[in-house]
Amino acid sequence: MKQWYDKIEAADSVEKLEEIRIAVFGKKGVLAAEFAKMKSAPNEEKAQIAKELNIHKGKMTELFNQRKIVLATEALEAAMKAEKIDVSLFSPTAERGALHPVMQTMDRIVDYFVSMNFTVNTGPIVEDDFHNFEALNLPKYHPARDMQDTFYFKDEMLLRTHTSPVQIRTMLHSKPPIRMIAPGAVFRRDYDLTHTPMFHQVEGLVVDEEGKVSFANLKFILEDFLKYMFGDVDVRFRPSFFPFTEPSAEVDISCIFCKGEGCRVCSKTGWLEVLGCGIVDPNVFEAVGYKDVSGYAFGLGVERFAMLIQHIGDLRSLFEGDVRLLEQFQ
Ligand code: PHE
């Protein structure tokens, strides 16, 4: 047994110590073997043997833990020394910062709509129930509220789940005609390869006198926009549902990876869903006191666009703040 005490003390790396741990404390380790041997010892000696073994076990565990702390600290110190950066050192190659890939994509989207004469509006991130839901034709207890897993505060306040409340705020403080986009951060309780609890949307809203804004206008601008973003893609409109638009559509582009043949990214369908849109529901106009107007609205997720354009596989990696990763998108 004594030799194992020495070995623990002599272990000179975390890896080495781990090997010893397995050899001593593991299922097929020394201690297990000693305990097994005890079974064949005379009955009157068993208690004494067990007692001694347990004392060894306790002492070795303590020794092991102490050694582990020492080695882990040494390893950390070595790593810190090796990765140390002397910020006062002159560097002949100046490091340049860059915009985050999501912001690059956002800028490109905003540029398009600004060139098409849209104004850029913003609204608060901490919203109330009225602007985020109620005025958007989403009354309390409406099942469609489940489409958006919401972070709530006290007193009916919440983190906005989409940029659509900016539509409401804009209409409440200005008169038609309106031609606006609203870029910004939104929040939902979601976390996987393609969802993070914070992400970005760009909302669009166009309102004018009754009869002046049609689905054809909406189709034109979105097709033109998607070709600007993705190049020569096919665009299709699929009937869908949003409480604040009627009729509503989801818009797909032909898969930019397989050109519509069917691949992993498009789940063999040949199409990629990229945004939601529709003709503004009359109930929304009623909520903001608009009469005799017509309009269209659309909303898109910026991260989705960034992932497609920049070939990003795991969205979460973008928000871990590792400069070595972000540098690749300069
Ligand atoms: N707000 C919707 C969402 O977050 C997107 C949308 C906006 C759909 C405007 C239609 C019109 O899913």
Cβ pair 249, 278 in contact under 8 A: yes
At residue 193, the pLDDT reads 86
Q: Measured between alpha carbons, how far is 109 from 309 in angstroms, rounded to an integer?
A: 12
| Ranges of the chain with pLDDT below 70 | 147
Last residue of a domain, one of 48, 82, 116: 82
φ, ψ (nearest 5 deg) of residue 152: -105, 145
- Domain that includes residue 27, residue range: 2-82
At residue 70, the pLDDT reads 94
At residue 291, the pLDDT reads 96
Q: What is the 3-state secondary structure (H, E, C) of 116-173?
A: CCCEECCCCCEEEHHHHCHHHCCCCCCHHHHHCCCCECCCCEEECCCCCHHHHHHHHH
Residues 77 and 153 in one domain: no
At residue 85, the pLDDT reads 84
Cα(270) to ligand 1 centroid in Å equals 23
In a domain? residue 92? no
Residues 75 and 108 in one domain: no
At residue 95, the pLDDT reads 75
At residue 237, the pLDDT reads 98
List the one residue out of 9, 8, 37 whose CA is nearest residue 24. Answer: 8
At residue 143, the pLDDT reads 81
Residues 153 and 248 in one domain: yes
At residue 2, the pLDDT reads 86
At residue 39, the pLDDT reads 87
In a domain? residue 94? no
At residue 321, the pLDDT reads 84
Last residue of a domain, one of 49, 82, 115: 82
3-class state of residue 89 by DSSP: coil
Determine if the pTM surpasses 0.85: no
Query: Which residues is 238 bridged to in the sheet?
Result: 250
Query: Could you identify the atom of ligand 1 that is nearest to the CA of residue 300?
Result: 5
Cα(59) to ligand 1 centroid in Å equals 64
Pocket test for ligand 1, best of 160, 162, 218 (most atoms within 8 A of CB): 162
At residue 173, the pLDDT reads 96
Whether ligand 1 lies within 6 angstroms of the CB of 245 is answered as yes
Whether ligand 1 lies within 6 angstroms of the CB of 298 is answered as yes
Whether ligand 1 lies within 6 angstroms of the CB of 64 is answered as no
Residues 109 and 77 in one domain: no
Cα(114) to ligand 1 centroid in Å equals 20
φ, ψ (nearest 5 deg) of residue 85: -115, 125
Cβ pair 160, 125 in contact under 8 A: yes
Residues 161 and 310 in one domain: yes
Pocket test for ligand 1, best of 149, 244, 305 (most atoms within 8 A of CB): 244
108-123 pLDDT tens trace:
999 999 999 999 999 9
In a domain? residue 87? no
Pocket test for ligand 1, best of 164, 167, 300 (most atoms within 8 A of CB): 164
Last residue of a domain, one of 82, 114, 133: 82
Radius of gyration of the chain (CA): 31
Nearest CA to ligand 1 atom 4: 162
Nearest CA to ligand 1 atom 10: 277
Q: Which residues of 124-151 are buried (b: 16+ CB within 10 A; e: fewer)?
A: eeebbbebbbbbbbbeeeeeebeebebe
Residues 114 and 259 in one domain: yes
Whether ligand 1 lies within 6 angstroms of the CB of 276 is answered as yes
6-39 pLDDT tens trace:
999 999 999 999 999 999 999 999 999 999 998 8
Q: Measured between alpha carbons, how far is 7 from 184 in angstroms, rounded to an integer?
A: 59
At residue 312, the pLDDT reads 86
At residue 287, the pLDDT reads 97
At residue 4, the pLDDT reads 92
Distances (CA, A) of 27 to 23, 24, 33, 270: 9, 9, 9, 52
Residues 48 and 156 in one domain: no
The interaxial angle of helices 302-310 and 101-115, nearest 10 deg, is 110
